[in-house]
Amino acid sequence: MHEEIKKTLEALNQGKLILYPTDTVWGIGCDATNEEAIKKVYQLKQRDDSKALICLVSDLRMLQKYVYEIPDAAYDIIDLATKPTTIIYDRPLNIAKNLIANDDTLAIRIASDEFCQKLIRQFKRPLVSTSANISGLPTPKSFSEISNEILKGVDYVVNLHREKKNSQPSSIIKIGNDATVKVIRK
């Protein structure tokens, strides 16, 4: 794992795209503070850049650096969630502008996967994490289902957990600073 983290960090520090195993599905990722890298993700996925992407942080301390205010309900959801849960927060900070949705929100998940946590801690910045598919096509449930177009479109493919199967996308919950809670995806 140490060697894979080192190689992945090299790619991320050069503004390159990675394909990596997350706590949910295989993801296309990049530095969430690098606008040019994020543009490449949208191009590879053939996705309209008005459709927001998720980003991953390593822990609560990192989350606090990238959100103006974390609602109390978010802490409860993070503590009580039994599966990976992405929360959409109001007023993100210190992040690439093209990662922020038109309504000034950002979807962020605290990664629970050991590789992701170690990678993000060493990188010291959030990572974009979007499913490894062309927009509109099914999300691959395993590494073997990822299309050649995606495999060839990234700069580095992490060589870990390729046998992992039947992963599910995270739940998505939107929490407003006004305490409104809305389930987007179960």
Does residue 12 have a pLDDT over 90?
yes
Residue 7 identity (one-letter amino acid): K
CATH number, domain of 88, equals 3.90.870.10
Over residues 156-161, the mean pLDDT reads: 92
pLDDT at 101: 93
pLDDT above 70 coverage of the chain, percent: 98
**Domain limits for position 141:** 2-185
Maximum mean pLDDT: which of 53-57, 140-144, 165-169, 180-184: 53-57
> Which letter does DSSP use for residue 145 in this model?
G
Over residues 155-182, the mean pLDDT reads: 83
- Check: CB of residue 60 under 8 Å from CB of residue 46: no
Model confidence at 51, pLDDT cuts 50, 70, 90, reads: confident
Provide the token pair at 52: 């927001």
Picking from 112, 165, 127, the residue whose alpha carbon sits closest to that of residue 143 is 165
Provide the number of structural domains found in the chain. 1
- Per-residue pLDDT tens over the stretch 88-105: 999 999 999 999 999 999
- Per-residue pLDDT tens over the stretch 107-148: 999 999 899 999 999 999 999 999 999 999 998 888 999 999
HSE (side-chain half, CA atoms, 13 Å) at 104: 8
